[in-house]
């Protein structure tokens, strides 16, 4: 199958937004940005054997490649709009590409995202997605706005995605459709991120794990983030399958969750909780921003040591 045919396969099935002046098929796409708004731009790559297990279902690869980028837009409070896709394939198999496209477009349609362009090349299986979203000027959520006294919240059940990967890698000896789905088909918290505009002081998505990502938020904001271990949402499903100690470790150190962690001033908590009644995911208060720096864990008022070296990291080295 030629590059042109792969591109036609990917282009078909997607829907087109009215602000796409010229979509797939030329040297570039032509896009009309909404007057008076700012753009949020994100780009993330998934490599087979690094970010997902070899042989993972093509539809799941397509879904996931878009989901991780939607999650970055969610953390910025941006409305998704335009996607570009670069797909490296060792060989082309039209069934694989069709299934990949179905996974990608299924999620794209849900969030009104148009695939506007990209590239297909030969190489080890790898997917790069660039995504553009819109925000009002000054309204983007960032990592750097947390203030002393703010409350720290997290959506969903961090750690379930990494536990899902272990389930997947067990080759059938462990069964948990819930955990597996959390790795294979993450639900990016786009609606929740949009709801947090004008409410959260800082936000980040948990791509590298709750500990690593909250540490980044603390550093960017110039505060200390203090987490109460007893308040962490530890998944009962993980605990039942892998035991309580593993469950806590996965909650703190597991990556690939694509949940949101964010800070809100205490006086906004009621408003947040009213909004969250309509969310499709759980929401848990896990700590507070304080004077100081870095990330600290406490349990029953005592410092609680966490071995962050077990956190998931690219290149597997200490920062």
Q: Is 2 in the site for a second copy (CB under 8 A)?
A: yes
Piece of the chain touching a second copy by CB under 8 A; list 20-28, 98-106, 165-173, 282-290:
20-28
95 makes contact with a second copy (CB under 8 A)? no
Q: How far is the CB of 173 from a second copy (least distance, A)?
A: 27
Q: Is the dihedral of CA 289, 190, 213, 311 positive or negative?
A: positive
Site string for a second copy, 208-237 (x = CB under 8 A): --------x---x-----------------
**What residues numbered 43-62 form the site for a second copy, per CB under 8 A?**
43-47, 49-51
Pairwise CA distance, residues 9 & 247, whole Å: 41
Range list of β-strands (E), 136-266: 151-155, 202-205, 224-228, 260-264
d(CA 118, CA 95): 20
Half-sphere exposure of 43 (CA within 13 A, CB side): 6
Rounded to the nearest 10 degrees, what angle do helices 94-110 and 3-11 cross at?
30
How large is the C-alpha radius of gyration of the chain?
Answer: 20
Residue with smaller CB distance to a second copy, 39 or 281 = 39
CA distances from 12 to 16, 85, 255 (A): 10, 14, 33
- Name residues contacting a second copy, limited to 63-82 (CB under 8 A): 72-73, 75-76, 78, 82
Which of 43/303 has CB closer to a second copy? 43
Q: Give the footprint of a second copy on residues 123-142 (CB under 8 A).
A: 123-124, 126, 128, 130, 132-133, 135, 137, 140, 142
Between 207 and 235, name the residue whose CB sits nearer to a second copy. Answer: 207
Contacts to a second copy from residues 27-46, by CB under 8 A: 27-33, 35-36, 38-46
Pairing of strands 20-22, 114-122: unpaired
Asked if residue 268 binds a second copy (CB under 8 A), the reply is no
């Amino acid at each position: 199958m030629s590059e042109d045919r792969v591109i036609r396969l990917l282009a078909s099935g997607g829907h087109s937004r009215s602000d796409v002046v010229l979509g797939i098929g030329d040297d570039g796409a032509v896009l009309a940005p909404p007057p008076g708004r700012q753009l949020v731009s994100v780009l993330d790559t998934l490599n087979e054997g690094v970010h997902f297990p070899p042989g993972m279902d093509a539809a799941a690869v397509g879904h996931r490649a878009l989901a991780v980028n939607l999650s970055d837009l969610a953390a910025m409070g941006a409305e998704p709009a335009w996607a570009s896709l670069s797909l490296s394939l060792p060989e082309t198999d039209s069934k694989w590409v069709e299934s990949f496209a179905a996974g990608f477009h299924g999620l794209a349609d849900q969030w009104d995202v148009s695939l506007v362009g990209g590239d297909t090349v030969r190489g080890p299986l790898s997917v790069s997605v660039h995504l553009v979203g819109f925000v009002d000027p000054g309204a983007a959520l960032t990592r750097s706005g947390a203030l002393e006294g703010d409350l720290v919240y997290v959506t969903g059940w961090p750690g379930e995605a990494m536990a899902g990967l272990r389930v997947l890698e067990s080759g059938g000896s462990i069964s948990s459709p819930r955990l597996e789905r959390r790795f294979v088909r993450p639900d990016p918290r786009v609606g929740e991120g949009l709801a947090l505009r004008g409410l959260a002081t800082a936000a980040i998505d948990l791509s590298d794990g709750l500990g690593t990502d909250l540490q980044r938020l603390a550093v960017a904001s110039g505060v200390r983030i203090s987490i109460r271990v007893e308040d962490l949402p530890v998944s009962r499903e993980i605990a039942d399958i892998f035991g309580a100690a593993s469950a806590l470790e996965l909650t703190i150190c597991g990556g690939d969750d694509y949940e949101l962690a964010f800070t809100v001033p205490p006086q906004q908590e009621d408003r947040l909780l009213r909004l969250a009644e309509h969310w499709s995911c759980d929401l848990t208060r896990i700590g507070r921003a304080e004077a100081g720096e870095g990330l600290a864990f406490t349990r029953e008022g005592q410092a609680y040591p966490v071995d962050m070296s077990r956190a998931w990291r690219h290149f597997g080295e200490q920062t």
